[in-house]
Amino acid sequence: MTPTSFIIVADRGSLKAYRVDETPTRGPSLKLVQAFDITDAHGKLLDKVTDQAGRFPVGDGGVGRHMNAIAERQTLSGEYDRRIYRQLADQITEILRREKAEGWSFAAPSEIYPHIVDLLPRGVREQIVEHVKSDLVKIEPARLPSHFRSLRPI
């Protein structure tokens, strides 16, 4: 089994990549290599798109209600999510290739984890040593190794 040389933690709007350095006396030590925030992931969809006059067709019933189904907003929301997952997958790929990582561990919330992993190139996906379906982005680096079995002392 390839040892973990990197830990990448992500959530819907950010990503942090840490290099794992083994110290003989204190165990694994993490060094932040890159932190990345996606600005599109923050805020409400309503703040990004508006229904200004002329944008949506208006019904002919005197009330002036919009004739669009809620499915249009869900489709737009789904498209934003796909773009965010693509950006996260692209950043992970770039970091791992630049750093020439051989084995890495990945943590992300269970709702987004499969979407990101599916977008990774096959070679990058096959190098994952450990899968953690949990939101660890805001955990301090010193406490991260305890969430990964591959980094715990034997």
Q: Domain of residue 133: give its range.
A: 6-151
Distances (CA, A) of 69 to 45, 74, 89, 95, 124: 16, 9, 31, 40, 39
Residue at 55 is within a domain: yes
User: Distance between the two ends of the chain, CA-based, in angstroms?
Assistant: 15
Report how many domains make up the chain: 1
Which pLDDT band holds residue 24 (cuts at 50, 70, 90)?
confident
Instruction: Identify the CA nearest to 107 among candidates 13, 2, 15.
Output: 15
Please state the rounded mean pLDDT for residues 78-105. 90
More confident residue, 1 or 117: 117
104-107, strands of its sheet edge to edge: 27-37, 14-23, 6-10, 104-107, 128-132
Residue 1 counted as domain residue: no
Position with higher pLDDT, 127 vs 41 = 127
Domain assignment present for residue 22? The answer is yes
**Tokens standing for residue 72:** 């249009």
pLDDT at 42: 47
In a domain? residue 62: yes
Is the confidence at residue 1, as pLDDT, over 50?
no
The domain spanning residue 126 has which CATH number?
3.30.420
* pTM greater than the 0.75 cutoff: no
- Residue 64, phi-psi category: left (phi > 0), alpha (psi -120 to 50), beta (remainder): left
Task: Tally the residues of the chain.
Answer: 154
Q: Please, what is the Cα angle at 43 between 38 and 45, to 5 degrees?
A: 105
Residue with tokens 């979407």: 115
> Is the residue at 33 inside a domain?
yes
Whether the Cβ atoms of residue 9 and residue 143 lie closer than 8 Å to each other = no
